[in-house]
Amino acid sequence: MHGGQCTLVGAGPGDPELLTLKALKAIQAATVLLVDDLVSDEITAFASPTARIVHVGKRGGCKSTPQAFIEKLMIMAAREGENVVRLKGGDPFIFGRGGEEVEHLQAAGIQVSVINGITSGLAAVTSLNVPLTHREYAHGVVFVTGHAKPNDEGTDWQALAATAFSAKLTLVIYMGVSGARRIQDELLTGLPASTPVAVVQNVSLATQRHVVTTLGALFDTIVREQLGSPSIMVVGDVVRGIQVAVDGARAQAA
């Protein structure tokens, strides 16, 4: 083992108040921080004034720092005796490439640990007072990416739709806005067009906004409302709770 160490820290969806205490302590103790693009300045402000902060932006559809280069930076800094924090949006082990990084660090003999963060797929629905599971509407939840790596066919949306319908599952789709047309068309092979969908952009931030629509109108709604990345799409009957709440508020106002 080397004198340095590396901690993969989940920074949560963006709101600094959603950091765990353990994550906050790790950020404050770091001598080097490698920070993802979606981590806010309010979170990096918790770092020590003497810490070296390196931005290694990674965002779907944009130019990104190569993953191999990020792993090389982590290993080099740890071998120099630094206390390295790899600061990631959401949770390191949910579409955060944390598994790949742990494997490379361990293979290099680097001491590594992981601190969980609130994933944006959970924070998105929570901000709308909607659950991911419900005894009446959803018996389970599937977190799935809408962005496949090059030369990978990605998710079998038709098979997933059939399973979600028969098993009453909520689908939480990350990085799916750019592929919304295909996702919609293939999910419609197994789910009704009336299936409710929520799209939440900039989860937990002051700029957060959302729309509630149906699967049949998903793509047109995204285009009309000019929704972009980063956004979460939530597909399933649990989303009906948002519309019920809106209708109830309107009735009270009347």
Active site residue 185: no
Active site residue 175: yes
The one catalytic residue in 15, 58, 74, 233 is 58
What pLDDT is recorded for position 148? 74
What pLDDT is recorded for position 152? 73
* H or E, element range at 219: helix 218-225
Write the DSSP assignment of 137-200 as a string of letters: TBSEEEEEES-PPTT-----HHHHHHHHHHHTEEEEEES-GGGHHHHHHHHTTTS-TT-EEEEE
The one catalytic residue in 15, 74, 88, 175 is 175
pLDDT in tens, 203-212: 999 999 999 9
What pLDDT is recorded for position 153? 77
Amino acid letter, residue 60: G
The one catalytic residue in 15, 36, 91, 233 is 36
Domains annotated on the chain, with CATH: 5-118 (3.40.1010.10), 121-246 (3.30.950.10)
Q: What is the CA radius of gyration of the chain?
A: 20
The answer to whether 117 and 20 have CB atoms below 8 angstroms apart is yes
Active site residue 36: yes
What pLDDT is recorded for position 246? 45
What pLDDT is recorded for position 135? 92
Which residues of the chain have a pLDDT value below 70? Answer: 1-2, 58-63, 150-151, 242-254
What pLDDT is recorded for position 254? 42
User: What is the pTM assigned to this prediction?
Assistant: 0.89
